[in-house]
Structure 1
Amino acid sequence: MSTDKTIVLVTGANSGIGLETIIALSKSSPNYHLLLGARSLDKGNAALAQIQSIHNNQLLSSITPIQIDVTSLPTIESTKTYLASTFGRLDVLIQNAGVIVTHPCHTLKNLRTTFETNVFGAKVVTDELTPLLQKSTNARVIYVSSEQGSITLRLDPEYPYKDVPGTEYKMSKAALNMLAACHRYDFRKWGGKVTSFNPGWCVTNLTGETGRKMRIEGGARSAEDPAKALVAILEGKRDKEAWEDSGILDLDAGVHPW
């Protein structure tokens, strides 16, 4: 299938920020072909059915569920094969899949689980799909990270969220920010653009249903907010902040220090 539409792959897109991003992009323009990445096709198809039942008359861009588990190399490789045979390229990769370990477990298990998804999976997915990104005329990679991964903010005694727990999660996001920085530098050699994006404290399924309720009760923002910010980025409304300024792109404005 040859297409002049912008091919966008969003990982972890069957819920939370990823799901809202797919919805917002589809509503914004008919010029996308959106790939809804989920760990299983059942979850992806269920997410698409949910989207269509609520937003069907407002959807402008087509949406295709695909199975991609960032911790499973076979699903990553099958995604690469599908993209190559169907579109011949990838224009935008939004690395949204992430995890926070909330159940009690040994620190080593926590670290392995957290880094497997938040860091190792992100690196492998991008590496595997880079040849397809290189075939795009405007390749872009967005890592959905967190200001909690900012070492500068962590050491700032005035930082308002300095007492938020979760060392393992913060470590993984600091590593993800370094990955984004490395890819930003390396991809410039062939014209690729890379940024690290802070979605803020919003309502997601990242910490399960209990955590979701806690976020709602605590006044967390809707996942629609970062989704709208991601649409603005892809529409070219924040080019300097996203692709040139040094730091973690904030959903509202400006960048946070690395």
Structure 2
Amino acid sequence: MASDKQVILVTGASSGVGYDTAYALTATTPTNHVIMGVRNLAKGETCLAELQARKPKGILSLLELDVTSDKSVDAAAKKLEADFGRVDVLINNAGIAIKAPHATRPDLRVIFETNVFGPTMLTLALKALLQRSSAPRVINVTSELGSIASRADPTSSSYAVGQNPYRMSKAALNMLTVCQQKELGEFGCKVWAFCPGFVVTNLTGEGDRQWRKDLGGESSETSAQGIVEIVEGKRDGEVGGFVTKYGKAFPW
């Protein structure tokens, strides 16, 4: 079934930046169909009902998707092909962090499965569907903590932050972005690494939300708006770059 709307897949869409992005992309325009990729369908259905109750102009729907599972990724790709025949925008938002200062080997495997292997394999699975779009885009939601330049700079505002496993995974995601721009750019796909900034989410656990607020964390709605600007073409001059909201960018 072909769609006359812009087909957008957002992974990790049942909370935080993904949840707010799904709504922001449909709130003001009827031209977008946003597919909320969620691991837990029951939770996803609750989130979908919440967003639909806000009466967005665009369309929202659900897709069961666990980016750490090849079986789930393959099934999702087949369903997207059957339902839409293409994907116009892929937002690789699903991500996790662990709070342990020194990760174990299993910890590292878990965080890389979601933050690196997931977007790598999902984008590859959807490559043919992106090729069928007239203006394909891929947005990898990363973090300033993935900047090697910032980590090596004692004057950087994030220099004192630990989170080494998370930093490593996001640095790898940044490299993936550059590699994807080279490969997918050959058929006109535009790729960005996008940092949502320090926002109030449950990334490091529900109990940390107040801690994030106390430290000045912004609403994740601000991050969603930054992603909307990329989708709308307002950051096209920075294709292949490491960007963040408010028109700013980070060094690799």
TM-score (norm 1): 0.94
Letter in 1 for 2:123: T
1:24 touches 1:228 (CA, 8 Å); kept in 2? yes
**SS class of match (1:48):** helix
Between the aligned partners of 1:74 and 1:218, the Cα distance in structure 2 is 40
Match of 1:25? 25
Match of 1:82? 79
**SS class of match (1:36):** strand
Letter in 2 for 1:66: L
2:52 touches 2:60 (CA, 8 Å); kept in 1? no
Between the aligned partners of 1:232 and 1:63, the Cα distance in structure 2 is 19
Between the aligned partners of 1:88 and 1:97, the Cα distance in structure 2 is 23
The answer to whether 1:251 aligns with 2:245 is yes
Match of 1:98? 95
Task: Give 1:117's match in structure 2, choosing from 114, 122, 133.
Answer: 114
What is the CA-CA distance between 1:213 and the residue it aligns to?
Answer: 2.0
Match of 2:217? 220
Match of 2:174? 177
Match of 2:43? 43
What is the CA-CA distance between 1:254 and the residue it aligns to?
Answer: 2.9
Task: Give 1:158's match in structure 2, choosing from 120, 137, 155.
Answer: 155
2:9 touches 2:37 (CA, 8 Å); kept in 1? yes
**SS class of match (2:9):** strand
1:13 touches 1:97 (CA, 8 Å); kept in 2? yes
Between 1:172-181 and 1:38-47, the stretch displaced more is 38-47
Match of 1:107? 104
The answer to whether 1:11 aligns with 2:11 is yes
1:199-241 C-alpha deviation (Å, 9 max, x unpaired): 1100112111112221122210100001011111111122112
What is the CA-CA distance between 1:176 and the residue it aligns to?
Answer: 0.2
Between the aligned partners of 2:242 and 2:100, the Cα distance in structure 1 is 29
Match of 2:57? 60
1:90 touches 1:139 (CA, 8 Å); kept in 2? yes
**SS class of match (1:189):** helix
2:101 touches 2:164 (CA, 8 Å); kept in 1? no
Between the aligned partners of 2:15 and 2:225, the Cα distance in structure 1 is 15
Between the aligned partners of 1:65 and 1:35, the Cα distance in structure 2 is 5
What is the CA-CA distance between 1:52 and the residue it aligns to?
Answer: 2.5
**SS class of match (2:243):** strand
Match of 2:231? 234
2:13 touches 2:37 (CA, 8 Å); kept in 1? yes
Letter in 2 for 1:255: A
What is the CA-CA distance between 1:103 and the residue it aligns to?
Answer: 6.0
Match of 2:186? 189
What is the CA-CA distance between 1:9 and the residue it aligns to?
Answer: 0.1
What is the CA-CA distance between 1:124 and the residue it aligns to?
Answer: 0.6
Between 1:161-170 and 1:99-108, the stretch displaced more is 99-108
Cα distance change, pair 161–87 in 1 and its aligned pair in 2 (3 A): same
1:101 touches 1:113 (CA, 8 Å); kept in 2? no
Between the aligned partners of 1:9 and 1:123, the Cα distance in structure 2 is 15
**SS class of match (2:86):** coil
What is the CA-CA distance between 1:140 and the residue it aligns to?
Answer: 0.3
Over aligned residue pairs, what C-alpha RMSD do you find? 1.4
Between the aligned partners of 1:94 and 1:6, the Cα distance in structure 2 is 13
1:89 touches 1:135 (CA, 8 Å); kept in 2? yes
What is the CA-CA distance between 1:106 and the residue it aligns to?
Answer: 5.0
Between the aligned partners of 2:32 and 2:211, the Cα distance in structure 1 is 35
Gaps of at least 5 residues in structure 2 are none
Letter in 1 for 2:168: M
